[in-house]
Amino acid sequence: MKNRIVIPASIAALLLAAPSLAQAHHAEFMRDKPLLQGLSMPIHGLDHMFVTIAVGLIAAQLTGRARWIVPGVFTLAILLGGMLNIFGIPVPLAEQAILASIAIFGALLAWKSRVPVLLTVGMVGLFAVFHGTALIANDGYIFNFPVFIAGCLVSALALQAAGFGAGLLMKHATQAPIHRYAGFALIALAVIVGLFPAANNVVINLIETR
């Protein structure tokens, strides 16, 4: 039990010391298209995309109201982080925390039965604030900010729904703990992105070549 806590925590600590990741930005063809800009934001980086999907996976492994509280808290916390950014309230170590969240969410998924629901909700909300500061940012290219924010939240909800659906399939299709393997895969992704930051920008690079 001790190792199950120490190992992910150690990985997260190492990731905090990793080089900063590039901030998400918009491809030129999205200029003056705030809805498209917003919809694209959660998939710009592998960190944002897989963490958001992981929230759905985590929620699917829970029961009762917690299934809906976790994605609800995540979405609202993204909005909160964005508002902090818009109003110029600094959030220290945001990029490092975003990277560390991949490993932490992987650990929550891999060892969900040993993590209290309240702690899961708290961790999801905390790291979502960091993601919100990167996703909802006025970089000078936003034509209509409310529409941009709406698009960003809709996209985040869609990714969570995809993760939730996949999580239900994992839970009911087989007795094997596939969700644990998904959690370990997230931890591995965190290490890869931490060691090779350019890997995080694969999706945005593809978008920009459009």
Model confidence at 39: pLDDT above 50: yes
pLDDT number for residue 23: 47
Beta-carbon contacts of 15 under 8 Å, excluding residues fewer than 6 positions away, are 96, 99, 100, 102, 103, 190, 191, 194
Q: How confident is the model over 115-125, as a mean pLDDT?
A: 93
Q: Which of 127, 124, 157 is nearest to 41 (CA)?
A: 157
Beta-carbon contacts of 29 under 8 Å, excluding residues fewer than 6 positions away, are 210
Q: How confident is the model over 89-118, as a mean pLDDT?
A: 89
Q: How confident is the model over 13-29, as a mean pLDDT?
A: 49
26 close to 137: Cβ distance less than 8 angstroms: no
Cβ-count burial of 26 within 10 angstroms (0-12 exposed, 13-18 middle, 19+ buried)? buried
Model confidence at 1: pLDDT above 50: no
Label residue 53 left, alpha or beta by phi (over 0 means left) and psi (-120 to 50 means alpha). alpha
Cα→Cα distances 164→13, 20, 25, 42, 107, Å: 28, 30, 27, 16, 17
